[in-house]
Amino acid sequence: MEVLDHYLYTKEHEWVSIEDSIATIGITDFAQSALGDVTFIELPEVGAEVEQFEQFASIESVKAASDIYCPLSGTIVEVNTKLEENPELINKSCYHKGWIAKVEMSSPDEHSKLMTAEEYQNYLESLQ
């Protein structure tokens, strides 16, 4: 499973990439692999307030439907509308073209509650 070094991760298999006060969020390679072919995603609304570890989107695949939890609190400033027409982008490029939303963080210190790439890799190994 691919884990990117400069990203942060949750135990629910979301990733976050932080640039200034904007956090880009998606699901990990492990998550998209476990789901199988993604067929639909319900995106959050731009302008919505989100709380850390609260459900903010949902995803459906040929295998299951799952909630997606926001790794950081803040305001949704952008969603990846390409996923509405092409949800399979999550399978093809979960860390790049398949990102879900961008959040302007309201509590940047919350990132200390997330796992580093090394911690996430160890977590994945503990699941096997």
Tell me what the pLDDT averaged over the chain comes to.
Answer: 96
Q: Do 115 and 11 form a contact (C-beta atoms < 8 A)? A: yes
pLDDT digits (tens, 9 = 90+) for 50-67: 999 999 999 999 998 999
Domains and CATH numbers, the chain: 9-108+115-126 (2.40.50.100)
Strand partners, 55: 69
| In contact, 26 and 104? CB cutoff 8 Å | no
| pLDDT at residue 108 is higher than 90 | no
What's the rounded Cα separation, in Å, for the pair 59 and 101?
Answer: 13
Please tell me the pTM assigned to this model. 0.95
3-class SS of residue 113: helix
Nearest of 3, 63, 54, 62 to residue 27 by alpha carbon: 3
